[in-house]
């Protein structure tokens, strides 16, 4: 929870607010705006909204930017640094106002024991009962945590702070809040910036837009011949694997951070989970096509490992807990808002049995093609219906939201966004005549936080400079799909000029280090924070690698069966330094390889000395690009991501 400097709590509408310097966000002043829990007066109580303001000048401006995070349930205040930089073109003459929406972060966060971390392991059959128990634990107040109440909170903040107009910046669920505020108070809105749009009639309980977006997302991922040597039909591969997993999970051996072997499984819902996690993590997207293809060929280990990576269970860290994800989603608030207001295919007063029947009837009325590459059963199980079918509604039906005002509007959408697909952005853009829509290639959800090209930031600068937003310049995907994982040394190309087993071992060594680097990148982006010293990764085929301050320790790390690497490689400035690694294993030509020494790899394997240019080594029979190119780097700040 964000620590705020103490300040008096003043009710909305007060003539003045008292600010004091924020302890966590330099340059911001902190205050509290207290609003009623229930504006109808039926329920007593108030909610203290923690608010931060960064002034553009010596006195408050007449117009402010208000930033709205996602979820629902994500705290906005921890994102102050990112938002300040992303919206800097708007802030020369406007104050920036941020607040944690009611029930999140530092604004009286919701909590219910039923949805505690220990309860989160419940199966699909019991999730509805857990949600129902949460609703009863929250009581009647649960009806006061909807988008409409957040809209009225924004208006209360505007009045309390004395702003004449607002620029609303929303990301994901925050765009829904922004659009509803703009429709309710059009006279108070001067502009909209909508990143990763959730339409006001969402979320769809069957996630149809997400399922239907998989074809264009995979098509772009594999464009420019990026999947050559992997697959020509990524969507069909996904559908084939989903059908197999629907009948039975695939089991495979994986190795933990101590090199211990475990046999784990991946299900159809796990496969969908990898796709959804890849929405915010381009490394996962890049690993998916080959992992799917390997599984179809009988090698499920890459897919099972990818599932663990997507779940945050890789790497093993010293506390033996998964890396902490700093997204800041309040699960109780998320469940409450969705269950109270999502457009479900049932009557609000219907009992659970009737709701379930109505949901199944609505599902059966849709063609099977609507769910491709998955099926109707998964669409039902993976959506919002299982959790909300038992939820007792406490709020009235949400009102129909009118169109937003035709104010200057910038809409940003990632071409590879599955969470809030571009179809939703186009739908909203069509309701605002002068809206400018920018689709950013090779980018998923939360565009300003995850766009590596800089195109979205240029769009923000142009928008607030009064210039037309330009289409993104042609760009290459820096996270190209990775090659199919070798299942034996004979499938590896020998390094040029080093024939036989020794040459294949050279390539396998480089493949192993490159695979480790991909796992480090993927895990860092998934955790959205730097990995701690001591974090360790099991090899795909055995052994492990441990990250230390300034070094990577390898202990019989194996990516290609029968080829094991041991030794310590120094790391400086995020790059591997020259080091000699010992090579062993039943399939390998034994000996040593010197890696990290510029553009060459050298050593002695099976009694044969060699010195080969890295450019002459064709890794894993893959002719396309790689990320990162050798020499391998271990960088990795997290991205600023909003759900």
Residues 504-516 have pLDDT tens digits of 999 999 999 989 9
The distance of Cα 605 from the centroid of its chain, to the nearest Å, equals: 42
Rounded CA separation 286/437 (Å): 26
Determine the pLDDT at residue 597: 66
Rounded CA separation 98/52 (Å): 5
Determine the pLDDT at residue 425: 97
Say whether the peptide bond before residue 48 is cis (omega within 30 degrees of 0). no
Going by their DSSP bridges, the two strands 165-172 and 189-197 should be labelled as parallel
Residue 533: C-alpha distances to residues 308, 317, 546, 551, 552 (Å): 20, 8, 8, 10, 10
User: Would you state the structure tokens that stand for residue 298, as one six-digit string?
Assistant: 């009988």
The model's confidence at residue 157, banded by pLDDT at 50, 70 and 90, is: very high
- Asked whether residue 124 carries a pLDDT value surpassing 90, the answer given is no
Residues 519-570 have pLDDT tens digits of 998 998 888 888 888 999 999 999 999 999 889 999 999 999 999 999 999 9
Contact 175, 195 (CB under 8 A): yes
- Token match 């990301």: residue? 171
Residues 266, 272, 273, 277, Cα dihedral to 10°? 130
pTM for the predicted model, two decimal places: 0.91
Average pLDDT over residues 478-503: 92
Rounded CA separation 8/633 (Å): 49
- Token match 């002043």: residue? 29
Average pLDDT over the chain reads 90
Determine the pLDDT at residue 16: 74
Stated as kind and residue range, the H or E segment containing 363 is helix 352-364
Q: What is the torsional sign of CA 603, 608, 613, 617? A: negative
Residue 614: C-alpha distances to residues 142, 275, 495, 521, 623 (Å): 60, 33, 9, 21, 14
Rounded CA separation 462/459 (Å): 5
Residues 317-371 have pLDDT tens digits of 887 444 433 456 899 999 999 999 999 999 999 999 999 999 999 999 999 999 9
- Token match 């098509």: residue? 219
Residues 35-84 have pLDDT tens digits of 999 999 999 999 999 999 999 999 999 999 999 999 999 999 999 999 99
- Token match 């909807």: residue? 146
Question: Which residues of the chain does CATH 3.40.50.1820 include?
Answer: 9-109+146-204+397-464
Determine the pLDDT at residue 159: 97
The model's confidence at residue 639, banded by pLDDT at 50, 70 and 90, is: very low
Length of the chain: 643
Contact 623, 228 (CB under 8 A): yes
Rounded CA separation 228/467 (Å): 40
Contact 278, 288 (CB under 8 A): yes
Determine the pLDDT at residue 643: 60
Least confident piece of the model among 282-291, 377-386, 469-478, 590-599 = 590-599
User: Would you state the structure tokens that stand for residue 297, as one six-digit string?
Assistant: 């060929």
- Asked whether residue 482 carries a pLDDT value surpassing 80, the answer given is yes
Q: From 398, 384, 327, select the one nearest 149 (Cα to Cα).
A: 398
Residue 66: C-alpha distances to residues 291, 404, 406, 467 (Å): 42, 17, 18, 22
Q: What is the torsional sign of CA 342, 344, 348, 349? A: negative
Going by their DSSP bridges, the two strands 165-172 and 63-68 should be labelled as parallel
The model's confidence at residue 620, banded by pLDDT at 50, 70 and 90, is: low
Q: What is the CATH number of domain 9-109+146-204+397-464?
A: 3.40.50.1820
- Asked whether residue 622 carries a pLDDT value surpassing 70, the answer given is no
Determine the pLDDT at residue 632: 39
- State what percent of residues in the chain have pLDDT above 70: 91
Average pLDDT over residues 476-484: 90
Rounded CA separation 131/402 (Å): 31
Contact 462, 469 (CB under 8 A): yes
Residue 607: C-alpha distances to residues 134, 210, 501, 533, 593 (Å): 67, 55, 11, 36, 12
Contact 219, 237 (CB under 8 A): no
- Asked whether residue 247 carries a pLDDT value surpassing 50, the answer given is yes
Q: Tell me the angle at which helices 301-310 and 282-296 cross, rounded to the nearest 10 degrees.
A: 150
Determine the pLDDT at residue 599: 81
Start-to-end Cα distance in the chain: 18
Residues 204-230 have pLDDT tens digits of 999 999 999 999 999 999 999 999 999
Rounded CA separation 594/330 (Å): 48
Q: From 176, 33, 3, select the one nearest 97 (Cα to Cα).
A: 33
């Amino acid at each position: 929870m964000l620590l705020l400097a103490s300040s008096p709590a003043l009710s909305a509408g007060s003539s003045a607010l008292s600010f004091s310097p924020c302890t966590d966000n330099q340059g911001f002043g902190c205050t509290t705006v207290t609003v009623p829990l229930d504006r109808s007066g039926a329920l007593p109580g108030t909610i203290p909204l923690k608010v931060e303001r960064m002034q553009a000048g010596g006195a408050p401006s007449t117009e402010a930017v208000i930033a709205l995070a996602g979820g629902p349930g994500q705290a906005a205040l921890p994102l102050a640094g990112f938002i300040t930089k992303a919206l800097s073109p708007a802030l020369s003459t406007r104050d920036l106002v941020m607040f944690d929406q009611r029930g999140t972060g530092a604004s009286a966060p919701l909590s219910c024991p039923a949805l505690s971390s220990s309860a989160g392991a419940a199966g699909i059959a019991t999730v509805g009962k857990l949600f129902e128990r949460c609703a009863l634990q929250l009581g009647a107040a649960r009806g006061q945590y909807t988008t409409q109440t957040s809209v009225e909170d924004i208006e209360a903040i505007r009045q309390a702070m004395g702003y004449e107009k607002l620029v609303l910046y929303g990301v994901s669920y925050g765009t829904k809040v922004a659009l509803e505020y703009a429709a309710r108070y059009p006279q108070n809105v001067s502009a909209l910036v909508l990143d990763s749009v959730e339409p006001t009639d969402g979320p769809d309980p069957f996630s149809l837009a997400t399922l239907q977006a998989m074809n264009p997302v995979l098509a772009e991922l594999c464009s420019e011949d990026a999947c050559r040597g992997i697959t020509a039909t990524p969507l069909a591969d996904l559908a084939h694997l989903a059908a197999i997993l629907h009948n039975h999970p695939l089991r495979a051996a994986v190795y933990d951070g101590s090199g211990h072997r475990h046999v784990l499984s991946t299900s159809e819902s796990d496969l969908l989970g990898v796709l959804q996690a890849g929405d915010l993590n381009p490394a996962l997207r890049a690993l998916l096509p080959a992992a799917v293809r390997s599984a179809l060929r009988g090698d499920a280990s890459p897919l099972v490992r990818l599932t663990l990576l997507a779940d945050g269970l890789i790497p093993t860290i010293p506390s033996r807990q998964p890396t902490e994800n700093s997204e800041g989603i309040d699960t109780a608030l998320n469940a409450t808002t969705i269950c109270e207001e999502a457009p479900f295919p049932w009557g609000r007063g219907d009992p659970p049995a009737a709701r379930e029947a109505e949901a199944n009837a609505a599902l059966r009325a849709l063609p099977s093609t609507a769910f491709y590459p998955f099926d109707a059963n998964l669409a039902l199980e993976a959506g919002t219906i299982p959790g909300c079918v038992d939820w007792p509604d406490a709020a009235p039906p949400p009102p129909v939201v009118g169109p937003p005002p035709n104010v200057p509007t910038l809409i940003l959408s990632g071409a590879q966004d599955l969470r809030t697909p571009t179809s939703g952005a186009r739908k909203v853009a069509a309701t605002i005549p002068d809206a400018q829509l920018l689709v950013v290639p090779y980018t998923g959800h939360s565009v300003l936080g995850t766009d590596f090209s800089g195109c979205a930031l240029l769009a923000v600068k142009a928008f607030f400079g009064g210039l037309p937003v330009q289409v993104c310049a042609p760009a290459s995907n820096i996270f190209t799909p990775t090659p199919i994982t070798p299942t034996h040394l004979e499938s590896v190309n020998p390094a040029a000029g080093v024939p036989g087993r020794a040459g294949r071992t050279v390539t396998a060594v480089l493949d192993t280090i490159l695979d480790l680097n991909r796992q480090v990148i993927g895990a860092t982006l998934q955790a959205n924070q730097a990995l701690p010293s001591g974090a360790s990764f099991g090899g795909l085929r055995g052994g492990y690698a441990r990250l230390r301050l300034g070094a990577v320790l390898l202990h019989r790390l194996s990516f290609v069966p029968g080829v094991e690497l041991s030794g310590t490689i120094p790391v400086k400035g995020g790059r591997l330094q020259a080091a000699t690694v010992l090579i062993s294993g039943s399939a390998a030509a034994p000996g040593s390889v010197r890696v990290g020494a510029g553009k060459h790899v050298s050593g002695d394997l099976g009694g044969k000395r060699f010195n080969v240019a890295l450019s002459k080594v064709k890794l894993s029979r893959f002719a396309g690009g790689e990320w990162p190119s050798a020499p391998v780097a271990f960088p990795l700040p997290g991205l600023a991501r909003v759900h």
